[in-house]
């Protein structure tokens, strides 16, 4: 019993120490649609790559991604879009309600914390963003 408590305490301490070196998720600031083309402004500091997802439902899988069958479009962002924090889809969607999410991967050289396996600096974006709903009107 004491061994389990010690192990738990050790794990809690390790999480507390390593937690400060975890990258933050990217943030969707706003979403819109111009002529039925989804667009977004976001923050993904020091991201090496990013992907925007548009889905018909906000349902998410256990890994945080949208459930595959609900995804309408997925677009890999360019370096220019990542740095500017602005994206406009090339895909036109039908009128309706959609859900938008961004995933980002951090720049390894700028973000990896050496000596802490798998840890990235908190000033870097990694993982899935918040989900924002988007209503696309007819026309």
What global pTM score does this model have? 0.81
Calculate ∠ Cα 77-87-100, nearest 5°.
Answer: 90
pLDDT digits (tens, 9 = 90+) for 33-88: 999 999 999 999 999 999 999 999 999 999 999 999 999 999 999 999 999 999 99
- CATH placement of domain 21-136: 2.60.40.10
Nearest to 41 by CA among 78, 85, 84, 75: 85
Greatest Cα pair distance, the chain, in angstroms, is 67
Mean pLDDT is lowest, of 5-9, 65-69, 82-86, 96-100, for 5-9
3-state secondary structure of 63: coil
pLDDT digits (tens, 9 = 90+) for 16-25: 333 335 889 9
Each domain of the chain, given as residue ranges in start order, spans 21-136
């Amino acid at each position: 019993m004491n061994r389990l408590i010690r192990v738990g305490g050790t794990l809690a301490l390790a999480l507390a120490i390593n937690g400060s070196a975890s990258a933050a998720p990217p943030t969707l600031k706003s979403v819109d649609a111009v002529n039925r083309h989804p667009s977004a402004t976001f923050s993904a500091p020091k991201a090496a790559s990013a992907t925007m997802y548009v889905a018909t439902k906000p349902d998410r899988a256990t890994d945080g991604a949208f459930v595959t069958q609900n995804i309408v479009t997925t677009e890999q962002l360019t370096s220019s879009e990542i740095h500017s924090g602005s994206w406009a889809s090339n895909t036109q969607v039908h009128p309706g309600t959609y859900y938008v999410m961004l995933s980002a991967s951090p720049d390894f050289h700028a973000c990896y914390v050496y000596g802490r396996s798998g840890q990235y600096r908190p000033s870097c974006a990694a993982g899935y963003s918040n989900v924002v709903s988007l209503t696309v009107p007819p026309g």
